Amino acid sequence: MEKKVSCHRINTFLRNMILDTLQNAHLYYRLGLKFIKAFEYLAQTDLTSLEKGKYEIDGTNIFAIVNEYDTVDTATEQMESHKKYIDIQYMVSGSELIGHDFLKEQVPSKAYDETADYQLFAEHPMFFSRLEKGMFAIFFPTDLHMPNIKVSTPMPVKKVVIKIAVSL
């Protein structure tokens, strides 16, 4: 019988972001039922035909935000973090860089907005990862991240961000 891991335990044991391909999503099913539902949604939905917007998967516990935009330079962006939701950012088309750092004792440049569930940080990321079509990144509340960054020149991307509630 598979043991389910609560989001509290996720936050306790997995403090670092995850970067992988959707083909390997089954490796993260141990994170719990919410993650299984999120990955099944990504695998079973025709994401290329979805319009920009918000899509419920399991009420406010799990929902998807579909977005299309052109990537930008780091000079116009700041790192962000969330408290109520874990992000699974899945690249439908295009490619972008995502800056990362660990949430330590940085001081927010924009205070936490409880309604929008984010705060901003002006520090430069510790490192960058490239997110390409078919890849996802998971960001926990302890992960600072700066998405939407151009690889070399601005390019259009389509991305689905699945929001998974931290509370049970």
Q: Could you report the per-residue pLDDT of 31-78, keeping only the tens digit for each? A: 999 999 999 999 999 999 999 999 999 999 999 999 999 999 999 999
pTM of the model: 0.89
Domain boundaries, position 104: 7-165
Give the number of other Cβ atoms within 10 Å of residue 152's Cβ: 8
Single out the residue of 28, 44, 24 nearest to residue 36, CA to CA.
28
Q: Is residue 2 part of a domain?
A: no
Q: Domain for residue 154, yes or no?
A: yes
CATH, residue 26: 2.60.120.370
pLDDT band at 23 (very low <50, low <70, confident <90, very high): very high
SS3 32: coil
Domain assignment of residue 67, yes or no: yes
In a domain, 1, yes or no: no
Number of independent structural domains in the chain: 1
Closest CA to 17 of 104, 99, 116: 99
How far does CA 12 lie from the centroid of its chain?
Answer: 18
